[in-house]
Amino acid sequence: MTRYATLAAILSQRIEQGLYPTGQRLPSVRTLSQEHGVSISTVQQAYRLLEESQLVEARPKSGYFVRGVRTLAELPAVTRPVQRPVDISQWEQVLELIRTKPREDLVQLGRGMPDISEPTLKPLIKALGHMGRHGDLRSLYYDNIQGVMGLREQIARLLLDSGCQISADQLVITTGCHEALSAGLRAVCQPGDIVAVDSPCFHGTMQTLKGLGMKALEVPTDPLTGISLEALEMALDQWPIKAILLTPNCNNPLGYIMPEARKQRLLTLAQRHDVAIIEDDVYGDIAYQYPRPRTIKSFDDDGRVLLCSSFSKTLAPGLRIGWIAPGRYLERVLHMKYIGTGSTATQPQLAIADFIRHGHYLQHLRRMRTRYQQNRDLMTGWIMKYFPPGTRVSQPRGGFMLWIELDDEFDTLRLNRYLERQGVQIAVGSIFSASGKYRNCLRINYAPKLTSEIEQAVRRVGETIQSLLLAPVAGIESALAQRG
Amino acid sequence: MTRYATLAAILSQRIEQGLYPTGQRLPSVRTLSQEHGVSISTVQQAYRLLEESQLVEARPKSGYFVRGVRTLAELPAVTRPVQRPVDISQWEQVLELIRTKPREDLVQLGRGMPDISEPTLKPLIKALGHMGRHGDLRSLYYDNIQGVMGLREQIARLLLDSGCQISADQLVITTGCHEALSAGLRAVCQPGDIVAVDSPCFHGTMQTLKGLGMKALEVPTDPLTGISLEALEMALDQWPIKAILLTPNCNNPLGYIMPEARKQRLLTLAQRHDVAIIEDDVYGDIAYQYPRPRTIKSFDDDGRVLLCSSFSKTLAPGLRIGWIAPGRYLERVLHMKYIGTGSTATQPQLAIADFIRHGHYLQHLRRMRTRYQQNRDLMTGWIMKYFPPGTRVSQPRGGFMLWIELDDEFDTLRLNRYLERQGVQIAVGSIFSASGKYRNCLRINYAPKLTSEIEQAVRRVGETIQSLLLAPVAGIESALAQRG
Ligand SMILES: Cc1ncc(COP(=O)(O)O)c(C=O)c1O
Ligand SMILES: Cc1ncc(COP(=O)(O)O)c(C=O)c1O
């Protein structure tokens, strides 16, 4: 990284962490130059970068100030899901979402796709194309069931950044994070068992519990600090919970990063009640802060945390390469992995190992961090502009999703029906709940280049919401049909 | 194909089907020339090809005769497994087999790898390398959860050859046949349920039952005609069986093709007892006969057959692309597929669709059919040459595995220990049984080019068997160490 980019990263992290609150004046160019031992022009370049990413604004003659876009929107409320174990529903709605594939005529704001158009991804595409050149056909064979050693070594190295010292031998490569979660769950729980989850919670996890015949106990969750430890403790006292499954870093869909102290307390709770933790870290590497946040796994001293992740959000989902660090459950996870899919595809493993080894992965992360953070601010601005007053919006600290909470009575399922005809798709809130809560919420993806076409799509969503709020149910069909 | 190759294929097929039994004189050159409307020299070339593949022999002045290599070896006995539902063991032995990866210093006769060195596979390697050229990045995205439509269409077309009329909508692409089997089983059975299987049976299937908490009921199986319908019927009367899982075409490990009439009777049995059939057809396309054998699925008229397959044996296992035609269980299979791995990797699906579309797949099959058939005869010859008298050998009619039965008391686990030090690996028989039977059996792969290095490896296996049979247990270590 260049000097000015490093400095910009440091400043943006401080802003991110609230050290410089919104509206506050930032240190002068001269002060920073002395503090960091860099030239005046380096500091100026750093500030220009921060201006471009809309984090700071220059006020003539006064200096640089922290911009406040994000705090203009109110946060979603702390969630209050049904606090008993429930069977999961909503499969039809999930199926509707995942059956779609990229289409020209549909702005898909609903799916969890990263942006793959950045040039920093090019070396990966090249590596993937290297299939079988020079007569090396190893990529057509099965490899070790645990995964290609070269890739496991690279992942072990990357894991250091999240505070984890895990050797390649303790890792299992999987077919995406999906398989990591599924194998992990099957390794520690039986059908009928109760699993505590943060709420709202990724629909894939919900459906996995459903498919495995397990019950979800949804725990209230704060949109800034994550799962409520108090509520979790009560639940652990009250129910025979077998595992806690959660996404503490850059949570999907809420976007929070659980503070370190709470991660440690959660682990202590799990130890006291002797339950396993399944930690989904699939967005952890695209936290906007640098260095990236620690995992719960990094505090784990008795192997009870199963850390699950993949390259689906950081690189590309079509690769289907993920991993799990299953701690003491290695043997069982390996068995579950074997019976689920056998060995993992060899070629993408070789290509990704190559990509990481040559430093391209970290470079790509750096770029995506900045890009997604800028997009978050832009998208938040659009939501506030086009959505009805009173709309509550999450403040993600990583990843590329916004969680939007509307009026209590609003029905996003109905909204989606109207939107489809207008060529827009969102993710309805109810699929993030075992019990079908959050019908008044939706999730929007801000990963792609935010073109005016997307702005128009967001505007259509906002306007449709407004009409649905105003129009009497009967008349709305025709009202909307006219504009359709 | 050239004329003479076509003629040779027709003749070899007739021999294969028993129309010309061993030792019989084949039609004269002149007769064939007239019958097929080809020149004398074309027929001569065809016979020369059949001679090379050791299917026929020329006897001076008398003409061509069907060679009897295969019938020189006695067949393995009809199996008599424990006939009650059992929990599955042997995971450690399976793990030992599947943890290995291709290695220079080890002749791996144990794993189920096809040969991937034929030039007919080149267009696939090229298609796989087309990743992202021309800015088409669709292969980096998730596609439809059911799989890429273009590939499903091609598979639907191929399925016609096995007598199946299945539309692309009724197919789900999976991560290899492993996932097809696993999703299929989870769709029709619950933990604790009993599944009837042919025996011996692919170790992956066994381990899947184990991992899903199901019980296997192993049914006696004939090495030429497959699962005993009589024994199966008794089992169905006696136990609450939920599904029948079997590999009727080019069975792994026995190599038989179940006759059509028996396939139909099996289906009738399943209908009468209202159980599902999970049909593993992973080797069906590399039957030595042409056209390929029909599937049980092709007779299915009420959607109870779940047909599972993949490109792992016909193309390459490292691709991890398979499929399932789940009949009436489509919705549940789709759910199980989603929670197991999410969407299947996009790029290999696009590449394989391309490969099939351009006719390369059928061309590759043609070549592999001939190659594997030749290899079968060569390997059978080696076994008979180097293994102790009385060794029983299967007569596979497709695929690339031999099943070898030794003296009742022989222990192939012990054999494998000795072989490892000599750089050879075999698959021990016990992993093909739920209850650890078949310790006196082993499976050998004859897919690769059968070099003299492989012949030497087979010879070492034979000699080690002989020494283990002769040497007293105590002294053998040193005896073998010397040769090690
Ligand atoms: C929190 C979370 N976990 C897991 C996954 C699944 O990841 P993969 O595509 O690697 O299976 C997703 C993707 O949508 C996700 O958002
Ligand atoms: C009978 C049988 N079924 C399924 C499989 C697994 O196939 P795949 O590699 O496509 O998962 C194998 C491979 O060993 C096999 O022999």
* Local confidence band at A133 (pLDDT 50, 70, 90 cut-offs): low
Task: Give the whole-angstrom CA distance, residue A201 versus residue A437.
Answer: 11
B221 touches B270 (CB < 8 A): no
B344/A213 touch (CB, cutoff 8 Å), yes or no:
no
| Closest to A34 measured CA to CA, from A65, A7, A53, A15 | A7
Beta-carbon neighbour count of residue A12 at 10 Å?
23
What residue spans define the domains of chain B?
3-66, 91-116+366-483, 122-360
Predicted pLDDT at A68: 64
CB-ligand 2 contact for A291 (6 Å cutoff): no
Q: Which residues in chain A have Cβ-Cβ distances shorter than 8 Å to B319?
A: 140, 345, 347
- Using CB atoms within 10 A of its CB, is residue A333 exposed (0-12), middle (13-18) or buried (19+)? buried
What CATH number does domain B122-360 carry, 3.40.640.10, 3.40.50.720, 3.40.50.2300, 3.40.50.300? Answer: 3.40.640.10
What is the average pLDDT value for chain B, to the nearest integer?
90
Mean pLDDT of A203-232: 94
Could you check whether A91-116+366-483 and A122-360 share the same CATH topology? no
Residue of chain B with shortest Cα separation from A174: B341
B178/A334 touch (CB, cutoff 8 Å), yes or no:
no
Residue of chain B with shortest Cα separation from A131: B129
Q: Tell me: the pLDDT tens digits for B304-340?
A: 999 999 999 999 999 999 999 999 999 999 999 999 9
A341/B320 touch (CB, cutoff 8 Å), yes or no:
yes
Phi, psi of B405 (to 5 degrees): -110, 125
Predicted pLDDT at B1: 63
**Residue B282 C-alpha to ligand 2 middle, in angstroms?**
6
A440 at interface of B, judged by CB pairs closer than 8 A: no
Percent of chain B with pLDDT strictly greater than 70: 94
- Enumerate residues 6+ apart whose C-beta is below 8 A from A284: A162, A249, A250, A292, A293, A295, A309, A398
Least confident of A203-207, A231-235, B149-153, B239-243: A203-207
B376 touches B205 (CB < 8 A): no
Predicted pLDDT at B17: 75
Mean pLDDT of A400-411: 95
CA atoms within 13 A on the CB side of B483: 14
A299 pLDDT higher than 90: yes
B235 touches B219 (CB < 8 A): yes
Least confident of A39-43, A189-193, B226-230, B478-482: B478-482
* Local confidence band at A391 (pLDDT 50, 70, 90 cut-offs): very high
How close is the nearest chain A Cα to the Cα of B448, in Å? 13
B47 pLDDT higher than 80: yes
Task: Give the whole-angstrom CA distance, residue B151 versus residue B174.
Answer: 12
Tokens of B361: 């797949």
Q: Tell me: the pLDDT tens digits for B252-286?
A: 999 999 999 999 999 999 999 999 999 999 999 99
A191 touches B190 (CB < 8 A): yes
What is the average pLDDT value for chain A, to the nearest integer?
90
A140 at interface of B, judged by CB pairs closer than 8 A: yes
CB-ligand 2 contact for B114 (6 Å cutoff): no
- Third-level CATH fold of B3-66: Arc Repressor Mutant, subunit A (1.10.10)
B116/A178 touch (CB, cutoff 8 Å), yes or no:
no
Mean pLDDT of B132-137: 62
Mean pLDDT of B141-148: 90
DSSP H helices in B137-220: 149-159, 176-188, 203-211
Predicted pLDDT at A218: 95
- Using CB atoms within 10 A of its CB, is residue B48 exposed (0-12), middle (13-18) or buried (19+)? middle
B190/A186 touch (CB, cutoff 8 Å), yes or no:
no
Task: Give the whole-angstrom CA distance, residue B312 versus residue B176.
Answer: 7
CATH code: domain A91-116+366-483 is 3.90.1150.10
A208 at interface of B, judged by CB pairs closer than 8 A: yes
Least confident of A116-125, A426-435, A443-452, B80-89: B80-89
Predicted pLDDT at B484: 44
| Closest to B113 measured CA to CA, from B127, B100, B95 | B100
Residue of chain B with shortest Cα separation from A113: B141
* Local confidence band at A229 (pLDDT 50, 70, 90 cut-offs): very high
Closest atom of ligand 2 relative to the B111 alpha carbon: 14
Task: Give the whole-angstrom CA distance, residue B406 versus residue B438.
Answer: 9
CA atoms within 13 A on the CB side of B11: 33
Mean pLDDT of B115-134: 84
Phi, psi of A61 (to 5 degrees): 70, -5
Q: Which long-range contacts (CB under 8 A, 24 or more apart) does B48-51 make?
A: B49/B4, B49/B5, B49/B8, B50/B8, B50/B11, B50/B12
| Closest to A321 measured CA to CA, from A288, A354, A360 | A354
How close is the nearest chain B Cα to the Cα of A262, in Å? 29
* Local confidence band at A60 (pLDDT 50, 70, 90 cut-offs): confident
Percent of chain B with pLDDT strictly greater than 90: 71
Mean pLDDT of A112-138: 83
Predicted pLDDT at A484: 44
Q: Give the ligand whose atoms come closest to the C-alpha of residue B310.
A: 2
Q: Give the ligand whose atoms come closest to the C-alpha of residue A112.
A: 1
B129 at interface of A, judged by CB pairs closer than 8 A: yes
